[in-house]
Amino acid sequence: MLECVPNFSEGRDKQIIARIRQGIESVAGVKVLHTDMGFDAHRTVITFAGKPEACLEAAWQSVRIATGLIDMRHQKGAHPRLGAVDVFPFVPLQGSEMTEAIDCARILAERVGRELRIPVYLYGEAALRANRKNLAEVRKGEYEGLNEKLKLEEWKPDFGPTVFNEKSGALITGARKVLVAYNINLAGGDAALAQKIARQLREKNGGLKAVRAIGWWMPAFNCPQVSCNLVDLDLTPLHLVFDTCCRLAEEMGTRVTGSELVGLVPVKVLTDAADFYNQGKTMTEKEKLEFVKTKFGLSSVKPFDPSKQIIEKALGGWQPG
């Protein structure tokens, strides 16, 4: 089974997201596990799973529909983005190998470039060039800088035309391990303060390994956030990111008031965090999840529902036919 976690540059129009989701659900053998719309980020993450061939067809349908409906000429939001479908990762789950995820990403990239005439970059484990493994490097300059970027030999697309697609921008697709998207809320300050904390958190600046972080102001929540991607949980677990952010916030005169998980997370990520804080204490899985929900303030800006946001529970024993 593969997991797909496409990020669409639309977080406000529910009808557009509904049509994209319908396209995914129209493919037999695929299950949509979660949909997370972010108004201020102007971004929606839809998580679905299935066998590789079914995921690949659902991926194509979602990209085809999204690029038909989303116009990047009018898109503005807090989250960085390169195109209407900003990033489309394939993630190996039960019984799948990374090679299967890589194959899917490359097949999708070729078809999107050929049929939709959209520039496509491959990143992560599917990258064809060393300078494209890091998503942030591929996205640098965002949609607004894409026209000039396409003129550079080192940023020639892996698939599709080198001509700027004004409506759709570019697609980034690839393969990766399970990633946790995690936003931490601050009590006071502004976007600049959140950005300062993010700089100290992220690996690129000498912070925590395998952590990508940016800072922004979220009007819908009336607070600044440090937005993190944890790309290798074996190197840096969730609790270390939370504790480090709490320490940095206090050093800068503010405090952490809670956090939110975007999309899905493996149950082990949360139970490991509970075990870290409660060493030696016997707890049921339900007690561990409740502890972490309270400790991290996971419902501080929107409800956290383990049955919908934990991969294993969202699957609910479902297996692709």
Q: Report phi then psi at 286, rounded to 5.
A: -60, -40
Is pLDDT above 90 for 320? Answer: no
For residues 169 and 7, the answer to whether their CB atoms sit within 8 Å is: no
- Encode pLDDT of 89-139 as tens digits: 999 997 899 999 999 999 999 999 999 999 999 999 999 999 999 999 999
Model pLDDT, residue 315: 92
Residue 183 clears pLDDT 80, i.e. is over it: yes
- Per-residue pLDDT at 188: 85
Q: pLDDT at position 33, please?
A: 96
pLDDT score for 92:
96
239 in active site: no
At 33, is the secondary structure helix, strand, or coil?
A: strand
Confidence tier at 280 by pLDDT (50, 70, 90): confident
pLDDT of residue 319: 84
User: In 268-300, which positions are buried (b, 16+ CB within 10 angstroms) versus exposed (e)?
Assistant: ebbbbbbbeeeeeeeeeeeebbebbbeebbbeb
Mean pLDDT, residues 37-53 taken together: 96
105: its two tokens = 């990403």
308 neighbors 263 (Cβ within 8 angstroms): no
**Strands 85-92 and 120-124, bridge-based pairing:** unpaired
Q: Which residues pair with 114 in a beta bridge?
A: none
Report all structural domains of the chain as residue ranges with CATH numbers, in order of start.
2-175 (3.30.990.10), 180-315 (3.30.70.670)
Exposed, middle or buried: residue 64 (CB in 10 Å: 0-12, 13-18, 19+)? middle
Q: What is the Cα–Cα distance from 226 to 273, expressed in whole angstroms? A: 19
Compute the average pLDDT of residues 53-70.
Answer: 98
Percent of the chain with pLDDT over 90: 96
Q: Which of 34, 42, 74, 79 is catalytic?
A: 79
